[in-house]
Amino acid sequence: MTDTLPSRRETLPVPAPRPAVRRGSRRRRAATAGFHTTGILISVAWFLPILIVLITSFRTFDDVAKNGIASIPRTFTFDTYAQAWQQGDLLPALVNSMIVTIPTVVLTLLLAAAAAFGLSRFKIPFRRTILLIMLAGNLLPVQMLLIPVTRITQQIDVYDTLGALIAVQIAFGLGFYTFVLYGFMRSIPHELQEAATLDGAGVGRIFIQVILPLTRPALAALGALSFTWIFNDLLWSITLLQSSEKLPITAAVLSLQGQYVSSWSVIAAATVVAAIPSTIVFLVFQRSFIGGLALGSVK
Closer residue to other proteins, CB minimum distance, 67 or 197: 67
Nearest Cα to Cα of residue 275 among 84, 142, 78: 84
- Does residue 259 touch other proteins according to CB under 8 A? yes
- Does residue 151 touch other proteins according to CB under 8 A? yes
CB of 53 to other proteins, least distance (A): 14
Closer residue to other proteins, CB minimum distance, 134 or 222: 134
CB of 180 to other proteins, least distance (A): 20
**Of 19-27, 152-160, 167-175, 218-226, which segment contacts other proteins by CB under 8 A?**
152-160
Residues that contact other proteins, how many (by CB under 8 A):
43
Closer residue to other proteins, CB minimum distance, 15 or 148: 148
**Of 34-42, 172-180, 203-211, 258-266, which segment contacts other proteins by CB under 8 A?**
258-266
**Of 37-45, 161-169, 224-232, 241-249, which segment contacts other proteins by CB under 8 A?**
241-249
Vertex 254: Cα angle to 248 and 260 (nearest 5): 155
Enumerate residues 46-85 that contact other proteins by CB under 8 A.
61-62, 64-69
Backbone angles phi, psi at 123, to 5 degrees: -85, 70
How many CB atoms are closer than 10 A to CB 221?
A: 24
Binding site for other proteins (CB under 8 A): 61-62, 64-69, 87, 126, 128-129, 132-133, 136, 147-148, 150-152, 154-155, 157, 159, 238-239, 242-244, 247, 251, 254-264, 266
